[in-house]
Amino acid sequence: MLSVEEGRALAEDLDARDALGPLRDSFLFPRGPDGAPVVYLTGNSLGLQPRTARERVEEVLEEWAGRGVEGHVEGDSPWLPYHRFLTAPTARLVGAQPDEVVVMNTLTVNLHLLMVSFYRPTAGRHRILYEGSAFPSDRFAFASQVRFHGFDPAESLVPLSPRPGEDLLRPEDLLDAIAREGERLALVLIGDVNYLTGQAFDVAAITRAGHAVGATVGFDLAHGAGNLVFQLHDDGPDFAVWCSYKYLNGGPGALGGAFVHARHREARGLPRFEGWWGHDEASRFEMGPRFQGMAGAEGWQLSNPPILSMAALRASMELFDAVGMTALRRKSERLTGLMDPLVRGMPGVAVITPADPAQRGAQLSLRIHRDPPGLVQRLAAAGVVCDFRAPDIVRAAPAPFYTRFGDVVRFAEVLRSHVQGR
Ligand SMILES: *Cc1c(COP(=O)(O)O)cnc(C)c1O
């Protein structure tokens, strides 16, 4: 346990020595009640706007105004191959080969599209194993896919819950459950990081366990992308999907990302929902009758994508690529590593996120015993933005791009006055 006063002294030193500190100026901040930039701890819900996003979006608007349809092929950033500006940075972000990733659609859409290919239930093997506290949209996707294939969600869905009285899934229980389900298991799909608890999972170990029983393995990285360092190619899951408006700062409703492992590069034998944007680009505009899929993740594309939205994401991915996930994660571990001892053990607060940095990302989830919505209001009045998940969880996620160590201490200070009833 660290007192707010001790934390303040530490934070001053950490901020003074923080090489990533100046990056904060690359982002635009909402203003708090006192007119100063807020302490923004909800980058896990909607990341802040990079200053360069406006330029990138305006560039597309100008090309459209000045070139009309020719903008597809002309100019510095033609729209036909526009998604490729995002390919290499996205591959580096998640530890993939360039043809294993594509930016397209939004998260739940991509989850459905990849489940079409990678959830192929049979009479004997039809179960999906996932965290019981998975995000609602994921659970809706799982249940509707099960019904779509003519199976019964009550039979086919295997939500894993923590042991009675515990908040987190024990990693060994997850692996044991995969082994226990064995050949009944068609798909293992885990949210990494879990949106509610902030718990991170071992992608390599889960992938090995799933593949060992003959299941396919996918990950929802909505709370992982831009938060943790991934090695998706080496760790070997069949697929992964994520959104880009959380840690990735891509803007509201930003285009999502998808990873399909190189072993499925040719998609041989995989059913797939097809659209013209997944068709071989050399012959796309010949408008022929037969679908010829592009190799790799790009073959899952359906449509001509929204370039304006992609432009905002491009601005953010340029920042991620310039700094690199390793440096961001290092600072993130220090930020959360400062927040943790300030709040864990505070009377009236239970931190449910793992204390081990290897089992969490940026976010800490705090169970607040007295009036949690009141706490969020009090924080807002003090210019600190956090969010609340009913019935009693407050989530706080310092973002290494723009959170200062002093901001973390400010959060703890307001939290302390709330729990002390002052
Ligand atoms: C944020 C989030 C979503 C939201 O899905 P969209 O399709 O982008 O609206 C889904 N799943 C998880 C795990 C999330 O964290």
pLDDT of the residue at 422: 78
pLDDT of the residue at 235: 98
What integer best gives the mean pLDDT of the chain? Answer: 97
Using the mean position of ligand 1's atoms as its centre, give its distance from the Cα of residue 324 in Å. Answer: 24
- Looking at the domain assignment, is residue 338 inside a domain? yes
- Looking at the domain assignment, is residue 158 inside a domain? yes
Dihedral over alpha carbons 354, 357, 359, 365 (to 10 degrees): 40
pLDDT of the residue at 357: 97
Same domain, 20 and 130: no
Domain finish residue from 321, 355, 382: 321
Query: What would the pLDDT profile of 181-196 be if each residue is shown by its tens digit?
Result: 999 999 999 999 999 9
Residue of the CA atom closest to atom 1 of ligand 1: 222
pLDDT of the residue at 267: 86
Measure the CA–CA gap between 343 and 410, rounded to whole angstroms: 12
Q: How are strands ordered across the β-sheet holding 364-368?
A: 349-351, 364-368, 393-396, 387-389
DSSP state of 47: P
- Looking at the domain assignment, is residue 53 inside a domain? no
Same domain, 106 and 84: yes
Mean pLDDT over residues 127-150, rounded?
Answer: 96
- Looking at the domain assignment, is residue 54 inside a domain? no
Domain finish residue from 321, 338, 372: 321
Domain finish residue from 288, 321, 354: 321
Same domain, 224 and 101: yes
Mean pLDDT over residues 74-87, rounded?
Answer: 96
- Which of 95-99, 133-137, 234-238, 359-363 comes out lowest in average pLDDT? 133-137
pLDDT of the residue at 220: 98
Using the mean position of ligand 1's atoms as its centre, give its distance from the Cα of residue 161 in Å. Answer: 20
Mean pLDDT over residues 205-212, rounded?
Answer: 98
Q: What is the pTM of this model?
A: 0.97
Query: What would the pLDDT profile of 350-395 be if each residue is shown by its tens digit?
Result: 999 999 999 999 999 999 999 999 999 999 999 999 999 999 999 9
Range of the domain at 230: 59-321
Same domain, 294 and 375: no
Domain holding 257: CATH number?
Answer: 3.40.640.10
Asked whether 97 lines ligand 1 (CB < 6 A), one says: no
Mean pLDDT over residues 323-331, rounded?
Answer: 98
Residue of the CA atom closest to atom 2 of ligand 1: 222
- Looking at the domain assignment, is residue 262 inside a domain? yes
Asked whether 191 lines ligand 1 (CB < 6 A), one says: yes
Q: How many domains does the chain have?
A: 2
Same domain, 317 and 382: no
Domain holding 34: CATH number?
Answer: 3.90.1150.10
Same domain, 277 and 409: no
pLDDT at 287 over 90: no
pLDDT at 107 over 90: yes
Query: What would the pLDDT profile of 330-357 be if each residue is shown by its tens digit?
Result: 999 999 999 999 999 899 999 999 999 9
Same domain, 190 and 206: yes
- Looking at the domain assignment, is residue 50 inside a domain? no
Same domain, 33 and 106: no
pLDDT of the residue at 421: 85
Mean pLDDT over residues 298-308, rounded?
Answer: 97
Q: How confident is the model at residue 268 (pLDDT cuts 50, 70, 90)?
A: confident
Mutate to test the pocket of ligand 1, among 109, 243, 363, 365 (most ligand atoms within 8 A of CB): 243
Reduced to 3 states (helix: H, G, I; strand: E, B; else coil), residue 397 is strand
pLDDT at 16 over 90: yes
Mean pLDDT over residues 34-49, rounded?
Answer: 97
Same domain, 23 and 74: no
Measure the CA–CA gap between 304 and 184, rounded to whole angstroms: 38
pLDDT of the residue at 288: 87
Using the mean position of ligand 1's atoms as its centre, give its distance from the Cα of residue 151 in Å. Answer: 24
Same domain, 288 and 364: no
Mean pLDDT over residues 82-102, rounded?
Answer: 97
Percentage of the chain modeled with pLDDT above 90: 95
pLDDT of the residue at 174: 98
Q: How confident is the model at residue 8 (pLDDT cuts 50, 70, 90)?
A: very high
What one-character-per-residue DSSP string does 343-381 give? HTT-TTEEE-S-SSGGGB-S-EEEEESS-HHHHHHHHHH
Asked whether 220 lines ligand 1 (CB < 6 A), one says: yes
Mean pLDDT over residues 23-35, rounded?
Answer: 97
pLDDT of the residue at 124: 97
- Looking at the domain assignment, is residue 51 inside a domain? no
Helical segments of 162-284, H only: 171-181, 203-212, 232-235
Note the residue count of the chain. 422
Using the mean position of ligand 1's atoms as its centre, give its distance from the Cα of residue 225 in Å. Answer: 12
Same domain, 305 and 331: no
Helical segments of 28-78, H only: 51-67
- Angstrom CA distances, 283 to 77, 85, 312, stand at 21, 21, 29
Using the mean position of ligand 1's atoms as its centre, give its distance from the Cα of residue 336 in Å. Answer: 23
Mean pLDDT over residues 267-277, rounded?
Answer: 93
Asked whether 112 lines ligand 1 (CB < 6 A), one says: no
pLDDT at 400 over 90: yes
pLDDT of the residue at 278: 96
pLDDT of the residue at 90: 98
Q: How confident is the model at residue 309 (pLDDT cuts 50, 70, 90)?
A: very high
Same domain, 347 and 282: no
Using the mean position of ligand 1's atoms as its centre, give its distance from the Cα of residue 347 in Å. Answer: 33
